[in-house]
Structure 1
Amino acid sequence: MEKRERFSSRLGFILISAGCAIGLGNVWRFPYIVGKYGGAAFVLVYLVFLVILGLPIMVMEFSVGRASQKSAARSFHVLEPAGTKWHITGYLAILGNYMLMMFYTTVAGWMINYVYKMIHGDFVGKTPDEVGAVFGNMLADPFQMIFWMIVITVVCFGVCSLGFQNGVERITKIMMSFLIVILIVLCIRSVTLDGAAEGLKFYLIPDFGRMVEQGLGETIYAAMGQAFFTLSLGIGAMAIFGSYISKDRSLTGESLNICLLDTFVAFTAGLVIFPACSAFGVNPGEGPGLVFVTLPNIFNQMVGGRIWGTLFFIFMSFAAMSTVIAVFENILSFSMDLWGWDRKKAVLINGLLILVLSLPCALGFNVLDGIQPFGTGSTIQDLEDFIISNNLLPIGSLLYLLFCTRKNGWGWKNFIAEADTGKGMKFPQWARFYVTYILPLIIIFILIMGYWQKFIA
């Protein structure tokens, strides 16, 4: 058996775990829902939920990883009491990681494609409608979709093939450092545009009135959902990094640092988007439209817009790739833990597997656009996203939670002993009742509401 690799530094652990959590939802979903539900007032509610929902589950996932020294594929086998069936959770986690990459590689490919388009000057002199058409044409072109998906998959597996410290840790550290620098530079540019003040006011001054207008219940659910989904918890994507970290630091403090970094990126993305939208009188819509249509239109009107646009899409590519590399590392560790493969063999087989599994999503916008699982206009990607976001993430999180708090699982004493090993912030003992009895109900509520909104509301 190979000796388990280790992070070379604490910074590496924090940046990579944050890189896994910082994904595209931070940039295209967070600013939009912040705007919709009352700006800064919503951010306050969201932060509360991040601490009471996301943080405990993250600590649990890291604890299971560190105590077992395995990926999610084997960690439950190591820690579960004899005769119990908790290890089935590991198979759900494996499914979740593959499922996430079935559509994430395609979307990450769009980002790199747009870096190329920006540098190439594809948007220069185009009307807003023509800019929108560039995105539509990309989706309709199976060659473009598959080509950039392959580029992302090959590059990210290439990074993983260099080993954990030399590849994953070293390159993610560089990417995350650049990501933060580029984000701050874009933020300074955006807030100093003429007419940016309106957007800043909207984003930074709490408006509880708008929150009430949208309905308090809906606002609270939106904050819960964003806090829950932003950290990619429940599929063991974080647990793997727990298995690579030493016992020098307690896990609650480290998890809090990761949550703060994740929030910093999401929040700063809003400081880039809202002032720019208000400066140029554009509505900051949601989803891909914001990133691929609205923002290129804004960059077109900006002095030096091609440079700012290129920087923005490099930032987006790094956000996407940090997640892809983290999840690929998890997928590789499944193969190495389950079948004892070496890293090269795991890279080769999983690389080919992910390329094949990613095809339905890439082709779902063009060749396979007749497949509309949720009715007119829906795509294969919507189905894949629904399976992971509305099912595997909440169910997986619930199972981690029960495993760490139930007597017939790993149990509270073992969990606390692992979480609190090392210097730093300890997991609060008074939270035991809350995480054992209340938090599971909140996750079940999120799970049911996901179905309610999808099929009934």
Structure 2
Amino acid sequence: MQREKFGSRLGFILISAGCAIGLGNVWRFPYITGQYGGAAFVLMYLVFLFILGLPIMVMEFAVGRGSQSSIARAFNRLEPPATHWHKYKWLGIGGCYLLMMFYTTVAGWMLAYVPKFASGTFAGADTAQTAEAFNNMLASPVELVFWMVVVCAVSILVCSLGVQKGVERITKVMMVALLAILGVLVVRSLTLPGAEAGAAFYLLPDFSKIFGSFDAFCEAAYAAMGQAFFTLSIGMGSMTIFGSYIGKDRSLLGEAATIGVLDTSVALATGLIIFPACFAFGVAPDSGPGLVFITLPSVFQQMWGGQLWGTLFFVFMSFAALSTVIAVFEGILRFAMDEWGWSRKKAVVVNLIAIPLLSLPCALGFNLLSGVVMPGVGDIQTIEDFLVSSNIMPLGSLVFVLFCTSRRGWGWKNFLAEANAGKGAKYPAWLYGWMHYGVPVLVAVILVMGWLPIIQSWF
């Protein structure tokens, strides 16, 4: 069977960007930027994105394109005889399933807020009332399960149509709509009375916020490193599949850089919606994860036409979430097709049943299963997020880095030949030392720092 391909380079870029552009950009990035002082944190984040995130993304693309396979067969085809790199595929696909087990529920929150805003549920609501509405939603197992199933059904239906007719065509439309809505909301937020203070907080660096003490610097650096690392969805094989769908006419560094710029631009632009609006209406910009579901709804209600702006904002958030879900679902389906020779139809049917069932614990973890907690971590959603973000993604990225730099793996020369095939920016050969020694150290820091507070809480 001939392998499916993207219909265009734009399709590859938008779909890969769609996988990267998710709730980490439009939910996590703004509130941690608020927590760590605004623009100074953004600059630190950009440094780590450049020296850590993008180089690993190129490696994942190269493994996919070089093998013409998802992680199901990628390492099998590229590894030297008698080595065992291919065993990582089970951790990688496990990470994709685990990610979907909580991401579909959170994506469902975004979808649920579109009709809530459009119908005027939050009309005249203050922060206490929006907090009550959010908590009521979490307390309803029927509502959470319903929206989670909608996310699963829509996303798998898109993937069932194939790479070009489904994933590429529909994701391109969603991404263009996402960028258009984002532009409209940025203009609206920046034209609010008093928005200048929020823009200054976000765009003018105040280094005293992160260099005030050694502890403050370490905390901010770890947050920036983690955000730069996780925002690109690297380490689980999600990007490997898209690498396998593209030709060799363009070098991979330039493609990864384009995706990274698009991904980062959306994250930065989301801040230009949130911070000017918060400052315009006297709301603290460091209000944590509740910023999107509790703080912003009350802010939108204070604007002229707030019902419209709030609805558009959650349509934008929904597109960002769905683009990631569709991309990861495609990787899951392709794994089954490559590993077991399933047809796309069989893979769709099996996963249309399996993923909603696997996602039930998270959806019920805010209500019926709220008593299930892990000491030092939290509820079911937080446990699943921790396992993916602080464990599988770093470990997976370490596997890709060592595989592409080690003589007992694919090797540096083979990786460079694949990454640099085609027109465009070339991956510098002199980066070998940094990638083979420096990057593993940073990844190890992410792993250790993720576990340290948890272990400390146990003693």
TM-score w.r.t. the length of structure 1 is: 0.98
1:452 aligns with 2:452: yes
Residue 327 (structure 1) shift: 0.1
What is aligned with 1:426?
A: 426
What is aligned with 2:254?
A: 253
1:177 aligns with 2:176: yes
Greater mean alpha carbon deviation, residues 396-405 or residues 218-227: 218-227
Q: Which residues in structure 2 correspond to 1:61-80 (within 5 Å)? A: 61-80=60-79
Letter in 1 for 2:279: S
Residue 37 (structure 1) shift: 2.2
1:204 aligns with 2:203: yes
Cα pair distance change 1:363/1:28, threshold 3 Å: same
Aligned length: 455
Alpha-carbon distance in structure 2 between the residues aligned to 1:314 and 1:240 = 27
Alpha-carbon distance in structure 2 between the residues aligned to 1:146 and 1:453 = 32
Residue 286 (structure 1) shift: 4.6
What is aligned with 1:362?
A: 363
Alpha-carbon distance in structure 2 between the residues aligned to 1:229 and 1:369 = 27
Alpha-carbon distance in structure 1 between the residues aligned to 2:256 and 2:276 = 31
Alpha-carbon distance in structure 1 between the residues aligned to 2:25 and 2:133 = 24
What is aligned with 2:131?
A: 132
What is aligned with 1:19?
A: 18
Letter in 1 for 2:105: T
1:44 aligns with 2:43: yes
Q: 1:84-121 deviations in whole A, cap 9, x for unaligned?
A: 10001111111010000000000000000000101111
What is aligned with 2:327?
A: 326
> For 2:424, what is the secondary structure of its paired residue?
coil
> For 1:248, what is the secondary structure of its paired residue?
coil
Alpha-carbon distance in structure 2 between the residues aligned to 1:384 and 1:27 = 20
Residue 268 (structure 1) shift: 0.3
Mark the runs of 5 or more structure 1 residues left unpaired by the alignment. none
Alpha-carbon distance in structure 1 between the residues aligned to 2:348 and 2:431 = 41
Residue 424 (structure 1) shift: 0.1
Cα pair distance change 1:192/1:17, threshold 3 Å: same
1:398 aligns with 2:398: yes
> For 2:6, what is the secondary structure of its paired residue?
coil
Residue 453 (structure 1) shift: 3.0
Letter in 1 for 2:166: G
Letter in 2 for 1:303: W
Residue 375 (structure 1) shift: 5.6
Alpha-carbon distance in structure 1 between the residues aligned to 2:27 and 2:325 = 17
Mark the runs of 5 or more structure 2 residues left unpaired by the alignment. none
TM-score w.r.t. the length of structure 2 is: 0.97
> For 2:122, what is the secondary structure of its paired residue?
coil
What is aligned with 1:193?
A: 192
The answer to whether the 8 A contact 1:28-1:286 is kept is no
What is aligned with 1:416?
A: 416
What is aligned with 1:242?
A: 243
Residue 287 (structure 1) shift: 4.5
Residue 38 (structure 1) shift: 2.8
Cα pair distance change 1:49/1:375, threshold 3 Å: closer
1:226 aligns with 2:227: yes
Alpha-carbon distance in structure 2 between the residues aligned to 1:246 and 1:96 = 27
Alpha-carbon distance in structure 1 between the residues aligned to 2:112 and 2:220 = 35
1:294 aligns with 2:291: no
Alpha-carbon distance in structure 1 between the residues aligned to 2:375 and 2:285 = 26
Computed over aligned residues only, the root mean square deviation of the Cα atoms, in angstroms, reads 1.2
Alpha-carbon distance in structure 2 between the residues aligned to 1:335 and 1:165 = 19
Q: 1:270-305 deviations in whole A, cap 9, x for unaligned?
A: 000000000000112354411111010011111000
Alpha-carbon distance in structure 2 between the residues aligned to 1:122 and 1:402 = 52
